[in-house]
């Protein structure tokens, strides 16, 4: 079965420290991978995606993610966390199969950046 | 430019009543999705529309739930005879019909069943 796992319900990090939010996936074939962020009472906002090419993808608000095919992971990172980064983060995968249109979302990781 | 618009933003209704939720996708986006998000939880896929193709209704939890879409524009999600377990945020998203394209989400309708 195709799935996405975000093993941490919550991640706490001090402001100014690097942050990592983990995501692993299990799909058949090559995946297209996405990260979204959700602020309170808002919908999800697209941060970045991996389609092909460089394993390190840069996105909005200084976030980046590293695709690791052998570990089937796509961890979200930021070199220096801000209090305003505190939010709910979702990893999503879309199998790169013709006609496959569903996105599979992880359960979300709540990031708390402490001042 | 305009994003995905959902209305109402909040809806409070009594158990047993019918509700209708509306979604206006981004112009040019042929794909439209509905999700349900219960408090503190992830996204639960409900239904998917693509152009004039038959929708994928595989995520609808019961026959009380239905959805329609007019061409490639507005969609409505209807819940009949609401139950308390229907309380959740209902999110709509749209995208271009390409596998490498991200979804764009509305801010959702927060539905509370008394």
Q: pLDDT per residue over B49-76, tens digit each?
A: 998 888 999 999 999 999 999 888 899 9
Residue B4 in any domain: the answer is no
The tens digit of pLDDT for each residue in A14-34 reads: 999 999 999 999 988 888 999
pLDDT value at A64 more than 80: yes
B2 is a domain residue: no
Predicted local distance difference test score (pLDDT) of residue A23: 97
Nearest 10 degrees: Cα torsion B96, A34, A44, A12: -170
In a domain, B3, yes or no: no
HSE, CB side, 13 Å, CA atoms: give it for residue B99.
17
Give A12→chain B minimum CA distance, Å: 17
Query: Count of residues for chain B?
Result: 114
pLDDT digits (tens, 9 = 90+) for B76-106: 999 999 999 999 999 999 999 887 889 999 9
- pLDDT confidence of residue B99: 75
Q: In the structure, what pLDDT confidence band is assigned to residue A98 with cuts at 50, 70 and 90?
A: low
Closest Cα in chain B to A49: B102
Q: Residue B23: inside a domain, yes or no?
A: yes
Query: What is the CATH number that goes with domain A3-114?
Result: 2.60.40.10
Mind listing the pLDDT tens digit for each residue in A65-77? 999 999 999 999 9
- Cα–Cα distance, B75 to B73 (Å, whole number): 7
Whether residue B99 and residue A32 make contact (CB cut-off 8 A), yes or no, is: yes
The whole-number pLDDT of residue B70 equals 85
Q: How far is A41 from chain B (nearest CA, A)?
A: 7
Please state, rounded to an integer, the average pLDDT across all residues of chain A: 92
| Number of Cβ atoms within 10 Å of the Cβ of B36 | 21
Residue B99 near chain A (CB below 8 Å): yes
Quote the domain boundaries for residue B64: 9-113
Number of structural domains found in chain B = 1
Q: Does B113 touch chain A (CB under 8 A)?
A: no
CATH of the domain at B97: 2.60.40.10
**Strands A64-68 and A19-21, sheet pairing:** unpaired
Copy the structure tokens of residue A38.
Answer: 């959700």
Q: In sequence order, which ranges of chain A are alpha helices (DSSP H)?
A: none
- Cβ neighbours of A49 in B, within 8 Å: 100, 102
Question: Is B17 within a domain?
Answer: yes
């Amino acid at each position: 079965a195709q799935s996405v796992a975000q093993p941490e319900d919550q991640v706490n990090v001090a402001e100014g420290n690097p942050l990592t939010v983990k995501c692993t996936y299990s799909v058949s074939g090559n995946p297209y991978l996405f990260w979204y962020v959700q602020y309170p009472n808002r919908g999800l906002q697209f941060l970045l995606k991996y389609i092909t090419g460089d394993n390190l993808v840069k996105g909005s608000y200084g976030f980046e993610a590293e695709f690791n095919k052998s570990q089937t992971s796509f961890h979200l990172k930021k070199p220096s966390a801000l209090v305003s980064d505190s939010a709910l983060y979702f990893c999503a995968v879309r199998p790169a199969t013709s006609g496959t249109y569903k996105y599979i979302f992880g359960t979300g990781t709540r990031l708390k950046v402490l001042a | 430019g305009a994003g995905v618009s959902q209305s109402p933003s909040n809806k409070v209704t009594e158990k047993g009543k019918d509700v209708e939720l509306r979604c206006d996708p981004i112009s040019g986006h042929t794909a439209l999705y509905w999700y349900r998000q219960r408090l503190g939880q992830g996204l639960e896929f409900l239904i998917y529309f693509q152009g004039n193709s038959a929708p994928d209704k595989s995520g609808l939890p019961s026959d009380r739930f239905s959805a329609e879409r007019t061409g490639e524009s507005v969609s409505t999600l209807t819940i009949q005879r609401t139950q308390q377990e229907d309380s959740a945020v209902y999110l709509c998203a749209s995208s271009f019909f390409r596998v490498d394209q991200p979804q764009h989400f509305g801010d959702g309708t927060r539905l509370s069943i008394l």
